Amino acid sequence: MEEGRVIGVGAEAVLILCTWLGLKAVKKIRIRKSYRHKVLDEDLRRERTILEARLMYEARRLGVPSPTLYDVDLDNYCIVMEYIEGPKLREVMSKLRTKELRAILSKLGYAVGILHANGIVHGDLTTSNVILKEGIPFLIDYGLGSFSYDTEERAIDLHILLRSLESTHYSLSKKAFKMFLKGYSNALGREILFNVLKKVKEIRRRGRYVKERA
């Protein structure tokens, strides 16, 4: 392992390979935003670090496959977590057989349903934030997540996933989304599924309206 190697750079944080008590791990460090006032920036980074750690811990506690939280360093706005070995769903979706894809997406839908049923929204539910480890979809990057039971917040999660599927695997997107919804419905029930999908349609209509107006 190339300890100290940067494996990801996002708008909010840098991901670095490391070890923690001999275990392969990832260190996520929230970076300074020069356009924000220093005190405000520090407060925001600290709050987001605490929130992400709580979300990840709660997800694991609920049995949702997610990285194990190893350590939180608020002075350096840093989280150390388990390194999940495996490809991103985005990288392998088109190579999977229908049976495999159905099993994976149904499990993913069930996991997201469990999160939503317990007042957690992921915030960035894309196929790049799902890692497959031995056929199990692990949800990573809770950095934009929140605690909420709001139907619109749940719908935004599903809307983001659907857009992710359409942008990277358009030919599979409708079938894949239905597979996901099967597991999601099993976790939350048909009534909640109906209400969330109704809100997803609303969000998509709003998006089209904005594009047309532009």
- Could you tell me if residue 42 is inside a domain? yes
Q: Please give the tally of structural domains in the chain.
A: 2
The answer to whether residues 39 and 46 touch, using CB atoms and an 8 Å cutoff, is: no
DSSP state letter for 34 = T
- φ/ψ region of 123 (left if φ > 0, alpha if ψ in -120 to 50, else beta) reads left
Domain endpoint, select from 64, 82, 100: 82
Mean pLDDT of the chain: 93
Task: Dump the DSSP string for 38-84.
Answer: HHHHHHHHHHHHHHHHHHHHHHHHTT---PPEEEEEGGGTEEEEEPP
Residue 146 shares a structural domain with residue 189: yes
Residue 79, strand partner residues: 28, 72
- Could you tell me if residue 97 is inside a domain? yes
Residue 131, strand partner residues: 88, 138
Domain of residue 135: give its range. Answer: 89-213
Please give the average per-residue pLDDT across 45-68, as a whole number.
Answer: 98
Please give the average per-residue pLDDT across 186-212, as a whole number.
Answer: 84
Residue, of 172 and 213, whose pLDDT is higher: 172
pLDDT band of 100, cuts 50, 70, 90: very high
Q: Nearest CA to 48 among 154, 150, 146?
A: 146
Residue 103 shares a structural domain with residue 165: yes
Which one of the listed residues 73, 124, 141, 157 is annotated catalytic?
124
- Could you tell me if residue 195 is inside a domain? yes
Q: How far is CA 71 from CA 20, 120, 144, in A?
A: 9, 21, 19
DSSP state letter for 32 = P
Residue 7, pLDDT score? 84
Cα–Cα distance between 108 and 153 in angstroms, integer?
18
Catalytic annotation on 124? yes
- Could you tell me if residue 1 is inside a domain? no
Residue 214, pLDDT score? 34
Q: pTM higher than 0.85, yes or no?
A: yes
The answer to whether residues 78 and 50 touch, using CB atoms and an 8 Å cutoff, is: no
pLDDT band of 206, cuts 50, 70, 90: confident
Domain endpoint, select from 28, 47, 82: 82
